[in-house]
Amino acid sequence: MSVGLLAVVDDILTAAIKASSKSAGVVIDDAAVTPQYVHGLSPARELPVVGKIALGSILNKLILIIPAAMLLTAFAPWVLPWLLILGGAYLCFEGAEKVLEWFGFHHGHEDDEGARDERKLILGAIRTDLILSAEIMLISLSNIDEGMGTWTRLAVLIAIAFMMTGIVYGAVALLVKIDDIGWKMTENEATKPLGQRLVGSMPAVFKVISIIGTVAMLWVGGHLVVANLAEVGFTPLYDFLHLVEEALAPAGAVVVWVVDTAISAVIGFVAGLLIVGLVLGIGKIFGKRPSFSEGGRSPHNVSV
């Protein structure tokens, strides 16, 4: 590989890391959301399912998100906020539905044995990933140097797509296999106590991950709806968040972020409840009872 080509590759990777740094929060959310789709499967199917979701994620980015983002940015930038509002509304709907399930409000018919339809849960995870990946890529696109040429920007976005997918689904694969690592550790006397603690902690860990993932859906969804409604001219919610941020600024950035996140999550939950009610109402009109769980029971309710 020539020195010139190495320099170009280095420039692309440097630009990719810089541009994607501001999407770190969404990356963390994506890594927290995905394990709940895999939890409850047999150990032999966990990594294959993670692999299929990761493949769907990279295809989302390469085939749908990057081409659409490049074209819309160039020819119809006004469409992007509306697409992000729809994506945010879908996350709000998913998050609110999961919260309702925690409190015993179920929809549709579930398998008595709690079996999960692998194909449906993979498709559900890929749909959710589409929205989260879209925000990651659009945030990254907005932070790429405007002086870059079209092909360089495209190369940077492709690098970000592979980098973010590797980080997210590498973390997911590690999370879902920690209990297996713990079992292996119990076979050695020196590491047995730590292995037993790892195995024993996993039910609680996955419940926490499920809660974090659901809150992340509501937070990201609420934020997308609020920020992009402001982009299209509806500013009251955004103005309210801005006033809260200004009032809390003396308390520090961490406090501002926590409160901003909490308010966005509440807005997301309310929006999600409205959408759930709308879906149920439409279902009732047409004599159907919609099922919202992807692939069977909610992962939150699956015992370990």
Distance between first and last Cα of the chain:
50
The Cα–Cα gap between 281 and 267 comes to 21
Please give the chain's pLDDT, 304 residues, in tens: 565 667 767 778 887 887 776 566 577 767 777 777 776 677 788 889 999 999 999 999 999 999 998 998 889 988 888 988 988 898 899 889 889 888 877 654 444 444 567 888 899 889 888 888 888 888 888 778 877 888 888 999 999 999 999 998 998 888 888 878 888 888 888 888 888 888 888 788 778 877 888 888 898 889 989 999 999 999 999 999 999 999 999 999 899 989 999 999 999 999 999 999 998 888 888 877 665 555 444 444 443 3
Whole-prediction pTM: 0.75
pLDDT value for 271: 96
The Cα–Cα gap between 93 and 216 comes to 12
pLDDT value for 83: 86
| Residue among 290, 240, 232 nearest 266 (CA) | 240
pLDDT value for 101: 84
pLDDT value for 291: 58
Q: b vs e for 160-191, b when ≥16 Cβ sit within 10 Å of the residue's Cβ?
A: bbebbbebbbebbbebbeebeebeebbeeeee
pLDDT value for 115: 55
pLDDT value for 222: 93
